[in-house]
Amino acid sequence: MSSWRRTGPKFLVGIQYRDEELVRYLQSSRIPFVLLDRAAAYSGLAAGSHWTPEGQKFVAERMLGLLAENNIVRTKDAGVNSR
């Protein structure tokens, strides 16, 4: 049986730009989330903001931490902090 069938679907949120009202709502609603606003990004691009390689690594680590903390994936470093 798939793990999602045992535990049910989960709703997780990644916040790219800091929004205190959204953070408060997610916290009060007990919705797991991760802040990605500190990810390094290139500036001045006409197509919008894009993460640098370091920013990509930061986001990947934060997302992996969020998934591990919510028992969606198992990792060797399950203690990775997503917040």
Please check whether residue 81 lies inside any domain of the structure: no
In a domain, 53, yes or no: yes
Domain count, the chain: 1
Q: pLDDT (tens digit, 9 = 90+) per residue, 51-82?
A: 999 999 999 999 999 999 999 998 876 555 55
CA distances from 82 to 3, 5, 22, 35 (A): 22, 24, 17, 8
Asked, for residue 20, whether it belongs to a domain, the answer is yes
Q: Which amino acid is at 18?
A: R
Share of residues in the chain with pLDDT > 90 (%): 64
- Residue 13 phi/psi, 5° resolution? -130, 135
Domain assignment of residue 11, given as a range:
3-69
> At 68, phi and psi to the nearest 5?
-70, -45
